[in-house]
Chains A and B, each alone.
Chain A
Amino acid sequence: MAIITSNSEIASGIRRMTVSGAPIGRAGQFFMLRVPGALDPLLGRPISICEIDANLGETTFVYQTIGRGTAQFARLLPGQEIEAQGPYGNGFPLNGGRAVLIGGGIGTAPMLQLAKELRASDPARTIAVYLGFREEAYLEQTFEQYADSVTRNIGGYVVNDVDFSLDATYYACGPAPMLRAAASAADSASASLFVSLEKHMACGVGACLGCTCQTEHGRKRVCKDGPVFDYREVRDAI
């Protein structure tokens, strides 16, 4: 059981919740968060790790209040308990060299911990971050401490801002149309691209088969075998 240390709105319908006591994960992994004892909503909600403070033992989640589950999270107060099952999923590979991170909407959240880990693993590397939002930006300043450049796009197509011809590893998380555009751009430029997928899931551990998708190497579970995949493997699932 984790304890909530803060839970506040950072943009319209977007909240940042920090908890202490959850096991420490890594960038690209997620937790199934659930209000202890609740039978309605019943299932945990898969929420990706936005930032980890290993020294304080704290994990931060940035989530969008879109349904009854996340609306229930929004009402939780500091000091209250939350069930944080996980960390689940494979996480992002920390490849060497230049990195380009592309986040769309709430998909910007996992990119923050990725930027942090990439910076920690190689202080000299170049990290470029591209963030796309429909109306209102968030997390932008937080990225600046880890990234060499942060490019923001509001109301447009963030993928159009990205140069895919660099000798770099590209990482993307966001809505399906954004990931498809990134995949198409990566195809044209023969770029190395990892995408983090999102699907409805019930268990988060690979048992319910609610989130399986067809890949180049047979059927895979987004929660257990992903959520991060080489885009070429999951082209048909994006």
Chain B
Amino acid sequence: MQSNPLELTLCGISLKNPLIAASGTFGFGHEYSEVMDISRLGGISGKGLTLNGSAGNKGMRVYETPSGMLNSIGLENPGVQHFVESEAAYMRTLGPAVIANLGGHCEEDYLEGARLLNSADIDILELNISCPNVKAGGMAFGMLPDTAADITRKVKAVSKHPVMVKLSPNAPELVAVARACESAGADALSLVNTFLGMAIDIKKKRPVFENVYAGLSGPAILPIALRMVHQVAHAVRIPVVGMGGITSAEDVLKFLMAGAVAVQVGTMTFAEPKAMLEIIDGLAAYCVSEGLSNLQEIVGII
């Protein structure tokens, strides 16, 4: 039987290709399962969870910018318990690897959330220490190496699942944060979350977003995200999952050559739901034209 040139192993989990739906852009799979064949994806990272759930932020939440968008959703989610009871089993039926994304407002929230997730049938816990849209939470843990390492170590101690730490591009010393998470036992890293940005309504003479700042994603951030993935992938030994503005198979190849073993796609799914499926086809065609027996052969060649 012909082997699948796109398959890879991440945190001991077999993925049929390196395409993972990014957290916060795919719900838990229900919505896009109605418009495309999501079983073809390598993995799905579910909507970011917080221990007790949240209604999210008030006011404007999404706002398009040149080749990108700002969001200030604020982790609207049904809570970890609801996920464990009602969503995890559904996600398992879909086929792609199941990744639960866990955010938190304080250390105890993270740890209790991780404990609850132990009873869920998931493949990877993505530890979100990088959401820029929740006050006194999320990103605060990911800004400095010490706090990032501390929460990583503690979550690793209670979680039975592999832990992939999702990093913020807003950290002043991103590579130091990445190294600290690796030292603290992270099984993998994913980056980048959104860049803190801003929009101003000049007619109303006030910020577009109630939180003033919001997270920038989309093709506009790709070159910066690619540079950060390159830096981090060359500084750590654990696998790196790259993301930031990917719209095409060519973009995925850039991230893989920069050192990522897999990628996540988010904003482009909003624009074109089937983009990830077209990317998978494009990567398969690339393997044929380049004569690669496995796409992983190009990982980190730059």
Contacts and interface: CB of A to CB of B under 8 A. Distances in A.
Contacts of B32: 205, 207
A202 interface: yes
Interface stretch (B69-77, B138-146, B284-292): B69-77
A83 B271 CA distance: 10
Interface string A20-63: 00000000000000100001111110000000000000000000
Contacts of B66: 40
Given A42-B267, A208-B62, A210-B62, A83 B35 contact: no
Interface string A186-229: 00000000000000111101111111101000010000100000
Contact of A205 (B62, B71, B268, B273): B273
Contacts of B69: 42-43, 202
A69 interface: yes
| Closest CB pairs A-B (n = 5) | A210-B62, A203-B270, A202-B270, A40-B67, A206-B31
Given A39-B67, A43-B69, A207-B25, 10 more contacts: A69-B64, A200-B61, A200-B62, A201-B62, A202-B64, A202-B71, A207-B27, A208-B71, A209-B73, A219-B76
B247 interface: yes
A203 B269 contact: yes
A43 B31 CA distance: 17
Interface of B: 24-27, 30-32, 34-35, 47, 55-56, 60-64, 66-69, 71, 73, 76, 218-219, 247, 267-273
Contacts of A209: 47, 56, 61, 73, 76
B25 A219 contact: no
A85 interface: yes
B62 A207 contact: no
A202 B62 contact: yes
Interface string A111-145: 00000000000000000000000000000000000
Interface of A: 34, 39-44, 69, 83, 85, 200-203, 205-212, 214, 219, 224
B67 A200 contact: no
Nearest to B218: A42
Nearest to B63: A200
A219 B24 CA distance: 17
A41 B66 CA distance: 7
A43 B273 CA distance: 11
A224 B31 contact: yes
A208 B25 contact: yes
A208 B73 contact: yes
A15 B96 CA distance: 43
B191 to A, nearest CB: 21
A160 to B, nearest CB: 27
Chain A CB count within 10 A is highest, among B24, B35, B270, B273, for B270
Contact of B219 (A42, A208, A210): A42
B23 to A, nearest CB: 11
Contacts of A41: 64
Given A200-B61, A210-B61, A210-B62, A42 B269 contact: no
B76 A42 contact: no
A40 to B, nearest CB: 4
Contacts of A206: 27, 30-31
Contacts of A39: 67, 219, 247
A208 B270 contact: yes
A34 B272 CA distance: 9
A172 B267 CA distance: 32
Contacts of B30: 206
A224 B34 CA distance: 12
B71 A210 contact: yes
Contacts of A207: 25-27, 31-32, 269-270
30 contacts: A34-B271, A39-B247, A40-B66, A41-B64, A42-B68, A42-B69, A42-B219, A43-B64, A43-B271, A44-B271, A85-B273, A200-B60, A200-B62, A200-B63, A201-B62, A202-B267, A203-B31, A203-B269, A203-B273, A205-B32, A205-B35, A206-B30, A207-B25, A207-B26, A207-B269, A208-B62, A209-B47, A209-B73, A210-B62, A211-B61
